[in-house]
Amino acid sequence: MAEGFWLLAFLTAQRLGELVIANRNTKRLLANGAREIGADHYKFMILLHGSWLVVLWVLGAENEVSRFWLAIFVALQLGRVWVLATLKSRWTTRIIIVPGETLVAGGPFRYFRHPNYLVVIGEIAVVALALGLVWVALIYSVLNAWMLWVRIRVENEGLKTID
């Protein structure tokens, strides 16, 4: 099997594992009095990320992987692990506001307000580029920029209630 297959298999397994963790954390947070905001745009985010993966599988599974872009992907994964390790059970794919909690200020949050989004911005472009799919990187980066424009505005409004 081509290198692209293995990269995409890893990425798909990672995303599915993250959804399991995110769903578990979301249920626990909501059961403990948290509230979700921005749920109406969440389905579009799932559609965006899901279609990105499908397009990568259709166009890139048989491709070789650029070592340069793969190295950047690995660095992004270190950033992802740092975010998840910092947020622990507060990490989720939804926007969950926990009344009375303080904002996380350690780890990568010491340097960036939304470090996970930086990782995702990088991944959307880098995985496509690693597979030689420049147009996929461009199209999905633009779509993701639109999604993050919506999402970060909603999230920042919600975070004002706990600042």
Note the pLDDT of residue 163. 53
Domains in the chain: ranges and CATH: 3-160 (1.20.120.1630)
Determine the pLDDT at residue 77.
97
pLDDT of residue 10: 98
User: What's the farthest any 2 CA atoms get from each other in the chain?
Assistant: 51
Q: pLDDT in tens for each of the 163 residues of the chain?
A: 899 999 999 999 999 999 999 999 999 999 999 999 999 999 999 999 999 999 999 999 999 999 999 999 999 999 999 999 999 999 999 999 998 888 899 999 999 999 999 999 999 999 999 999 999 999 999 999 999 999 999 999 888 877 5
| pLDDT per residue as tens digits for the range 56-97 | 999 999 999 999 999 999 999 999 999 999 999 999 999 999
Residue 126: burial class (beta carbons within 10 Å; 0-12, 13-18, 19+):
buried
